Structure 1
Amino acid sequence: MSNQFSLLRSRRFLPFFLTQALGAFNDNVFRNALVILIAFRVTGLDAADVDFYSNLAAGLFILPFFLLSATAGQWAERSEKSRAIRQIKLLEIGIMVLAAFALWTGSLPFLMAVLCLSGAQSALFGPVKYSILPQALRPEELVGGNGLIEASTFLAILIGSLFGGWLMNAFDNGECYVAVAVLVLAIAGWLSARAIPVAAATDPSLRMDWNPVRQTWRVVMGLRGHRAVLNAVLGISWFWFFGSVVLAQLPNYTKVYLGGDASVAPLVLTLFAFGIGLGSLMCEMLSRRTVEIGLVPLGALGLTVFGVDLYLARPEAALVAGLDWRAFLAVDGNIRLCIDLLLIGLSGGFFIVPLFALVQQRAPRERLSQVIAANNILNALFMVAAAVLAIVLLQAGLNIPELLLVTAVLNALVAIYIFTLVPEFVARFVSWLAIKALYRIDIQGLEHIPDEGPALVVCNHVSYMDALLLMGAVPRPIRFVMYYRIFNIPGMKQLFKAARAIPIAGSKEDPDVMERAFAQIDAALAAGELVGIFPEGGLTTDGEIAPFKRGVERILATRPVPVVPMALRGMWASMWSRRDSRLHRARLPRRFRARIGIIAGPPIAPEQASAASLEAAVRALRGDRA
């Protein structure tokens, strides 16, 4: 497949994509129609009653995520997923029949009960929605597939909200039109679900625990054994915290601080949602179809920078009010506000898509649905916390721009905390940034690197950038063994430590450092990690591959694991090599943005791997392109 949009022609993906998009669209048609009904169509409600029912509606939709997510995760684990989705969509049809009847009667308690049922259906669908993707998609399609799902979800939220509000406002009997719409959408979702291919149960023998409190505690605590997954889930939940604060304030922010009328509110919401969708779709292109968690710090940085600039652009209430969207865009400074909102959304897409892909890639396949369930529980908890924080700060006297500023600053603090716990995010970001800025890279053969389990990666050594290049190219975390003097270079040591590189010295230089290095290599392989080494023992001084040293044989004798040969092509003529340096040190680069290649070959069994055979394999991969 050439890019993520090719997935939309595939039966592996398209029916599921349509099913989940129609579900998100339908939820928001009904929810926003209900909000409009409460605010403008129900007689006898004062402003306090409207606020009460509006907040109750939000709470009733979120409540089932706390009560049902853990059970839904177990059910998704033991069920064939295409059948489970069809059952959920049949449930949606039944709920929308009740919704149509509730709209016809105009009973608020009945409508609230139906909204809670709609939340329950969404809670059941969540674990299946994200756990089916790794079964349906190849590893290199995971980021693109998640990007399409996230983009469609936010666009469905936007368009569904606008459509539901329009149906309710545009017609005297808007309730009837909404009732017909939600029924048609539910049936369309069920029809598309019938075309989803079979996706086998990941743990059909799982015994259900029907105690929601005990199982909720169990699935959330189960994240602790997978540090990267836990922090990815916390990052996703933080995004929903951030997004909830922003989305909840946009209507009043538009009216009071932007001076806009009812036509400006959809424009502002569209900018934010479109930004998220665009950022989600760009992730595949920027990550070269790998799970590139280096985009997460970039997204976190954007959320803070553009969030702060949004405050600086308009800290006080607008001097004029009631502007339509054309007049609004004509006011000095408002284009800057629009760009900020768009880029906040764009940064959110960069932030959340790699995190979802990381969870799907690294969580145990047989527990992925339960991990997604834990994620949904924490998402709901963070969204409630966001609402509470907003209420407290606004009651304390902050205005909406100040609340958004506080949220942007909190985002920076949370990001620093997460990246401190998992330095791999920052290490990947720096390596991704470096290779994007300095090189044009052709990457081949990464499918030969195992998705899990221990393996040794061996590669030729041409420049001081080699480890960073391979770290940025290989989707799995890779622990490089590097010469201790390079490891200790000021300014780079912190990056190498964050990447958990292993410093090594020659036996004559420092035998203690060498022995510690071999012990660390063995421990890393025993833990199922990927270890990278440069068996030449140093940078090439003439562009040719030097004979491989026998340290690789010592590693394999102690811990026999598969060996993946890799080769760097074109690096000799690029930046930071020793080309033409009589002093044997790197000179200023002769060529910026050089075109280079990284290629991986099939794994070699440990019993067939020797220093000489691995050297021959790397030479063959590199060819004559030094």
Structure 2
Amino acid sequence: MSRSGLTHRMGGFLQTWVWDGLHESFLFLCLARRLGDGGGLLASGSLVVLAAGLYLAPWVLFLPLSGQLADRLETSGWIRRIKRAGLGGSALAALAIMTGHPALLAASLAGLGLQAAFFRPVRSSLLPRILEHEQLVAGNSLLLAISSGTLLSGALGAWMLACREESVGACWMAAMVGLFLGFMGERAACRIPPLPAADPKAEVLWNPLRAARETVRRVARRRVLHLSMLGVAWFCLFGCVVLGLLYPWARQVLHASDDVVKVFLVLMGLGLTCGALLSERLSYERLEVGLVPFGTLGMTVFTCDLFLASRYFPTPSPSTPLLGSFQLLGMLAGIRILVDLLMLATFASFFVVPLLTAIQQHADRAWRSSALALSLGLNALFLGGGVVFLAALAWWDCRAGTAFAVLAVVNGLVSVYIYTLAPEFFLRLLAWFLAHGVYRLRTRGLEEIPREGPMLLACNHVSFVDWLVISATVKRPVRFVMWHAYAEIPILRYLLRDARVIPIASSRQNPELVEQAFREVAESLAQGDLVCLFPEGRITTDGNLSRFRPGIERMARDSGAPVLPLALRGFWGSLFSRRPGRLRRRLCRPLRSSVELWAGRPIPSQEVTAERLQNEVATVLRQQS
């Protein structure tokens, strides 16, 4: 579905998301700043802790209840009730901003957190009910892009109206804008179509500890679900620390002005938006788990480079004027920092979009809102952990630049752990980048591969990188049957093990390994996987199709899985083929040359013979483009 079609289908839900994001970010910063201005009693560090605590405390207390109510009640009506109650909170916040009374400001921050605690679980659970299963990645990408834009817009608006100086006119304008945003969010909620309750007979547990324990018990049974929740919570902690370090880092290390911090925030918002939209393109309308370790790797690299690049800035004297945006752009190290921030946010989007999608896909509809409420509670706890981490760095008098190095090391350990959980997905994504970087790939007929369920893929063998191209073009993870000698190469064997390659040998050379390979193929197909093999048994040395070996017949017969003939075209004569001739001629072949992967029609398992399969592949090879 095109982005315009996706936006039209999400309709009132999308409008509600936009207005709610603007309203929440704008009011939070206005209230926090006014609380700091009230009598000058709070230092900046204490202000951050107090504002975050007031906002997040209702999350911990009321999220278990809000998730249960979202599962039990009719969805659109429940949203409208929350938004109408939120209008009272907006009015209280407007009065607090105009008067600057500390008690009103604190109550308004807690009220803003209370509305978020009841609204966010039902808001997040709506997406899987509005969109089809294969549209969830696109939907989450779009929502993350919009969230980064609304967060940035609300923050800049609050900065301009309430944070520049203590002006009565600015405070009145901020109060009116907050009321307007709250009213528009309520109006948008009225456009959400009626949706039945996910589980109208669900029991509501009023004890938050008991309700949370019940949800934890359900989530703990699904490993992907609770690991995804922990990943999203880590994203929140990481983002909290990075944003908390930006201002002191800009002042202490870069000796930069407030305008430079604004540029940093705009770049990070742009990076989150670009990363969210790119993650949709890299996902092929499916949950691409390989983006998660790829994202953490990029986050680690660019966080570390922020520390390295900042070392090129000399220690300023008190009389040195602050750097402006244009002065920073005139420095090579300054441009490097801007690129680092942009790429850091981009890779953070790669990391979090698949995790958000996994939570929505793996939670049962009957208790999805409760699971999302638990995830939000974890986010709140990890955000609190981020605030504590920042406070600890300040207590140890750790410079902000060094703090980035510490954060990079910790995130690097997280990256290693994530890779151990899903190495084959990361390697498949790496194959996508390598294959599309070297070749211009064209495909035809791959829609014959089902979104779910087992299938054998049988392809001609032209070069050493055939598996790379197949892995990069097929929209599902593929297990390959490969000659056992490759699995014995010292470094390559670890990568092939992580990619779950199935080694095989000839019957005369190692009959035990052959039987083991057949068992692994049968087990993989029984689990619904795709398995690819090259029935010729060797790479062609003359560019022609060799005789297919009969092992494919046994694999199809034992598993009952259909077989899809594949044909690789355009590889003969490339650097990785065995075409005779000078290496120089093959090296001079243009980079990004065009190669094709075409598919024929699936053959039922009971009709598979080596001869028929060979003829099918030959027919596809002879077809005209």
Shorter-chain TM-score: which interval? Answer: 0.7 to 0.9
1:355 corresponds in structure 2 to: 355
Q: What is the aligned counterpart of 2:249 among 247, 253, 271?
A: 253
Q: 1:302: Cα distance to partner?
A: 2.7
Task: Output the CA distance in 1 between the equivalents of 2:389 and 2:375.
Answer: 21
Contact 1:275 1:342 in 2 (8 A): yes
C-alpha change, 1:407 and 1:144, in structure 2 (3 Å) is same
Q: Which residue of 214, 232, 235 corresponds with 1:236?
A: 232
Contact 2:124 2:369 in 1 (8 A): yes
Q: Which moved more, 1:229-238 or 1:515-524?
A: 229-238
Contact 1:426 1:498 in 2 (8 A): no
Deviation at 1:29, TM superposition (A): 0.5
Deviates more, 1:455-464 or 1:606-615: 606-615
User: Quick check: 2:288–2:425 contact (8 Å CA) kept in 1?
Assistant: no
Q: Summarize the Cα distance change of 1:105–1:245 in structure 2 as closer, same or farther, 3 Å threshold.
A: same
Aligned to 1:471: 471
The change in CA–CA distance for 1:430 and 1:262 in structure 2 (over 3 A counts) is closer
Following superposition, the deviation at residue 350 of structure 1 comes to: 2.8
The residue matched to 1:164 in structure 2 has which SS?
A: helix
* Deviating more after overlay: 612-621 vs 509-518: 612-621
Matched, 1:46 2:41: yes
Task: Give how far 1:530 is off.
Answer: 3.3
Distance in 1, matches of 2:291 and 2:451, equals: 20
Q: Distance in 2 between matches of 1:13 and 1:601?
A: 37
Distance change >3 Å, CA 510–CA 380, structure 1 → 2:
same
- Alignment correspondent of 1:20: 17
In the superposition, relative to structure 1, how do residues 230 and 544 fare at CA in structure 2: closer, same or farther (>3 Å)?
A: farther
Equivalence for 2:413: 413
| Counterpart Cα distance in 2 of 1:62 and 1:447 | 47
Cα distance in 1 for residues equivalent to 2:510 and 2:100: 82
Matches within 5 A, 1:34-433: 34-40=31-37, 42=38, 44-48=39-43, 51-77=45-71, 81-82=75-76, 84-104=78-98, 106-137=100-131, 141-168=135-162, 169=164, 171-196=167-192, 206-220=202-216, 222-287=218-283, 290-315=286-311, 317-319=315-317, 320-330=320-330, 333-360=333-360, 368-433=368-433
Displacement of 1:562: 5.1
Distance 1:353 1:18 in 2: 20
* C-alpha deviation, 1:608, in angstroms: 5.6
**CA contact under 8 A between 2:574 and 2:586: conserved in structure 1?**
no
Give the partner amino acid of 2:352: I
Residue 4 of structure 2 is matched in structure 1 by: 6
Deviation at 1:159, TM superposition (A): 1.2
Distance apart, 1:544 and its partner CA: 4.6
Residue 480 of structure 2 aligns to a residue in which SS? strand
Residue pair 1:136, 1:199 contacting (<8 A) in 2 also: no
Deviations 1:588-615 (A, max 9, x none): 6845322223345676655565556655
- Determine the C-alpha separation between the residues in 2 that align with 1:198 and 1:464: 55
**Matches of 1:231 and 1:452, distance apart in 2:** 23
> 1:223, CA displacement in angstroms?
4.5
Q: Distance in 2 between matches of 1:19 and 1:498?
A: 43
Aligned to 1:592: 591
Which structure 2 residue ranges, 5 or more long, are not aligned?
none
Structure 2 CA distance, aligned partners of 1:60 and 1:123?
12
Secondary structure of the 2:8 match is: coil
Task: Give the aligned residue type for 1:182.
Answer: G
C-alpha separation in 2, matches of 1:200 and 1:581: 69
* Offset, 1:220: 4.1
The one-letter amino acid paired with 1:514 is V
2:541 and 2:196 mapped to 1: Cα distance? 54
Asked if the contact 2:256/2:323 (under 8 Å) is kept, the reply is: yes
Deviation at 1:545, TM superposition (A): 4.6
1:282 positional shift: 2.6
Q: 1:113 to 1:365 in 2, by over 3 A?
A: same
Number of matched residues? 618
Runs of 4+ in 1 over 6 A off after TM superposition: 586-589
- For the residue of structure 1 that corresponds to 2:506, the secondary structure is coil
Change (3 A) 1:522 1:395: same
In 1, the alpha carbon distance for the partners of 2:72 and 2:263 equals: 43
Residues 384-393 or 136-145, more deviating: 136-145
- Give the % identical residues: 37
Shift of 1:256: 2.8
Indicate if the aligned counterparts of 1:292 and 1:428 stay in contact, CA closer than 8 A: no
Structure 2 CA distance for partners of 1:293 and 1:181, relative to 1, 3 Å: same
Contact in 1 for aligned 2:289/2:422 (Cα 8 Å):
no
The TM-score, its normalising length taken from structure 1, stands at 0.86
One-letter code of the match for 1:515? E
Matched position secondary structure for 1:263: helix
- Rounded Cα–Cα distance in structure 2 between residues aligned with 1:561 and 1:177: 67
Q: 1:535 to 1:252 in 2, by over 3 A?
A: same
1:38–1:54 Cα contact (<8 Å) kept: no
